[in-house]
Structure 1
């Protein structure tokens, strides 16, 4: 019964909207294919390997190689964005935040928590800390659950003040939104059934169906790697879904052979389903950040100030949240050190 409901939910996402996305991608691919071929033909196969950060892109006409550093220096001062949030009246005086409600231990509703099954998880802890600093009340938050592929549209349209949803900072996204300094380090990783012959991000993916979330860094990385010969040309990347958790469902239903997502999320999904496991090591290095509007400079600076304090505050900060939510799936203090973000660098001027 549950499988039928899940399958029906997937069909709902895979209707007209999915067809529109497929058609748009097909047209875009047709337009860009000659350029992509010419670029690949003019390049050797780039050096890759475990833990490599993939590629570089242009941002505002400049080469972008370390997107996690493209943020503003911290400040506790209010500005127009924060003043607008504070001026909301009555029940509307809340920080509006786009989050996930399906990622176990990151942003999810625990059915065993009783009552209204409040949103909980590592990302949710950070949201409460930001709300406490900006509005003086950790619960002054309006959560909006948004799919993976709607994170940037939600910010740009003004539906949310920010997104705190395991969102990787990358060069492409910096063209549309502003990011805080990193608050978590991870990397892309494979998830497959324990009995699968897939051993990692290698030749065992030849001829296999791989699921990724639409608009995710996993999808763009796989596309790039396939064009440049790092991923088998016979690997099928045709299965994309609005929400990353839908990939786990596709894997459980036998519709795909593997899932590629952030290792931190994959570990949580493996904890939910004992029949699957991570295969091989992470093959990229990526950083999660809080995403905001490009013109919300004061809010970006304020969040960076909050993150400075959050990382340093061991009793109720980053480490305490990791211990509570992630240690069971990612490991203890030694693994936490690997997941902790590097000392922030603030290279964006304005």
Structure 2
């Protein structure tokens, strides 16, 4: 039996004050949230309550390469796009669920001097989609959505799509449709530089780990603890509505480590120099644009836009990466580029 590790809680971290200021400013500029996520000891259930565990287990076994389960690109309009275009006046906008607290992905820069402006890699992609569909890159209504409310917001029709560092996986493609991947990443551990945690390994025994409710990080930890890949004594009960809340808890010494996508973790490490990534990524994941299951024309259109976005060397994927992510992920973008898309879904 492994003896419990003594809690190592760094004191007087310089990042706390800066982050507190950033959070206050974010609240000042905040969008009206479409839903309020719950913060507790277990993640909220999102969808599919009527589906049995056996049916879901069978579906997961049959699911392979979820990032390829999308429709072929098309520039044609259909009923979903027609409905978006039929909106009149100030309502003629693309309604998109985003994050406003993920540094360099979807966030409000408190030093930008422009009230209400969202910035980041995901935001660039949203503007590109709006420009293609509505002819105006600024014809967007942004809605800030907690991690565990992304799928419910799509299913309830509160948003046309979600562009929010959302991993394509087998569980989610049962509930929403995804575009082809637009970014490659993997789960990683974030902890204080002074921490004895070394990565996704035995050093997490008896440690408190924070994840966002409804995230792939939590489901991965839950599965790995059952199989023994993660020490059974690791405490994964701390979940929060938004990933940034995990960083704050880490800064306050309330948890020992955070597990999230490496692309997000790198941005959080850039926000606070007292924390760092520990060990290599231990999964491979892909971000996609999520939409309603029956919005076939919109899925095809977004896939067409992504082809152009990836191929545009002047103002597309590469330019956006250089602007927002090169400082945290490195100048060489090769590791973050998704593979050539495959469109295996036929209906």
TM-score by length of 1: 0.85
Unaligned runs of 5+ in 2: 1-15, 28-35
Task: Give the aligned partner of residue 38 of structure 1.
Answer: none
Task: Give the aligned partner of residue 76 of structure 2.
Answer: 77
Secondary structure in 1 aligned to 2:220? helix
Task: Give the aligned partner of residue 255 of structure 1.
Answer: 254
Task: Give the aligned partner of residue 337 of structure 1.
Answer: 334
- Displacement of 1:111 after TM fit? 1.0
Task: Give the aligned partner of residue 93 of structure 1.
Answer: 92
Does 2:102 align with 1:103? Answer: yes
Deviation string 1:126-162 (CA, Å, 9 cap, x unpaired) is 0000000000000000000011111001000000000
Contact in 2 for aligned 1:111/1:117 (Cα 8 Å): no
**Count, aligned residues:** 315
Deviation string 1:318-349 (CA, Å, 9 cap, x unpaired) is 0000000000000012xx11100100000000
Taking the TM superposition and a 5 Å limit, the aligned residue runs for 1:276-315 are 276-315=275-314
Contact in 2 for aligned 1:155/1:293 (Cα 8 Å): yes
Taking the TM superposition and a 5 Å limit, the aligned residue runs for 1:39-188 are 58-59=58-59, 63-188=62-187
Secondary structure in 1 aligned to 2:237? strand
Does 2:208 align with 1:209? Answer: yes
Taking the TM superposition and a 5 Å limit, the aligned residue runs for 1:23-34 are none
Secondary structure in 1 aligned to 2:62? strand
Deviation string 1:205-244 (CA, Å, 9 cap, x unpaired) is 0000000000000000000000011100000001000101
Task: Give the aligned partner of residue 229 of structure 1.
Answer: 228
Contact in 2 for aligned 1:110/1:117 (Cα 8 Å): no
- Displacement of 1:117 after TM fit? 4.3
Partners of 1:345 and 1:234 in 2: CA distance? 40
Task: Give the aligned partner of residue 49 of structure 1.
Answer: none
Deviation string 1:287-344 (CA, Å, 9 cap, x unpaired) is 00000000000000000000001000010000000000000000012xx111001000
Task: Give the aligned partner of residue 32 of structure 2.
Answer: none
Partners of 2:204 and 2:114 in 1: CA distance? 44
Task: Give the aligned partner of residue 272 of structure 2.
Answer: 273
Contact in 1 for aligned 2:37/2:241 (Cα 8 Å): no
Deviation string 1:261-311 (CA, Å, 9 cap, x unpaired) is 000000000000000000000000000000000000000000000000100
Partners of 2:37 and 2:344 in 1: CA distance? 42
Q: CA RMSD in A?
A: 2.5
Contact in 2 for aligned 1:188/1:283 (Cα 8 Å): yes
Unaligned runs of 5+ in 1: 10-14, 36-55
Task: Give the aligned partner of residue 46 of structure 1.
Answer: none
Partners of 2:262 and 2:62 in 1: CA distance? 27
- Displacement of 1:57 after TM fit? 5.9
The verdict on how the C-alpha distance between 1:205 and 1:325 changes in structure 2, with shifts beyond 3 A counting, is same
Partners of 2:44 and 2:96 in 1: CA distance? 31
- Displacement of 1:247 after TM fit? 0.3
Contact in 2 for aligned 1:57/1:64 (Cα 8 Å): no
- Displacement of 1:24 after TM fit? 7.5
Task: Give the aligned partner of residue 328 of structure 1.
Answer: 327
Deviation string 1:21-51 (CA, Å, 9 cap, x unpaired) is 67979xx9xx97xx9xxxxxxxxxxxxxxxx
Contact in 2 for aligned 1:167/1:289 (Cα 8 Å): yes
Partners of 1:229 and 1:264 in 2: CA distance? 26
Contact in 2 for aligned 1:209/1:237 (Cα 8 Å): yes
